[in-house]
């Protein structure tokens, strides 16, 4: 299995631009999680999905952030408009409920100038 796939691996953009991060979970996994990691705040859970349905988005910092999961093999996290304080590493992780272990993708390093 290829594991969790994220794209792009690195993104540099200017303030005000739209950013879209992509994730392909491990096939068969029914939970998908989006995290943000910064030095100041550590690992934060932004939102997670179960069977493509958003379950808890209480970690999404503000309305500029949105996430979708149109099917079992694809999810996006969008920031519009982006701000310098959004600079972070964004991780996607997936898990199979029965096993409980979350497997992380390689992350997307976002820099907003």
Residues in touch with other proteins (CB under 8 A)? 31, 33, 37, 42-43, 45, 48, 55-56, 89, 91, 93, 95, 97, 100-104, 106-107, 109
CB 81 to other proteins: min, Å = 25
81 or 106: CB nearest other proteins: 106
φ, ψ for residue 38, nearest 5 deg: -130, 160
43/113 with CB nearer other proteins:
43
**Which residue lies nearer to other proteins by CB, 45 or 72?**
45
């Amino acid at each position: 299995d290829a594991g969790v796939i994220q794209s792009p691996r690195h993104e540099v953009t200017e303030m005000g631009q739209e950013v879209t991060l992509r994730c392909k979970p491990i096939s068969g996994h029914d939970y998908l999680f989006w995290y943000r990691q910064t030095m100041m705040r550590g690992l934060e859970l932004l939102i997670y999905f179960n069977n493509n349905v958003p379950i808890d988005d209480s970690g999404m910092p503000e309305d500029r952030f949105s996430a979708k999961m149109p099917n079992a093999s694809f999810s996006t996290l969008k920031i519009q408009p982006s701000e310098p304080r959004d600079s972070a590493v964004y991780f996607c992780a997936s898990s199979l409920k029965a096993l409980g272990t979350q497997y992380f993708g390689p992350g997307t390093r976002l820099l907003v100038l």
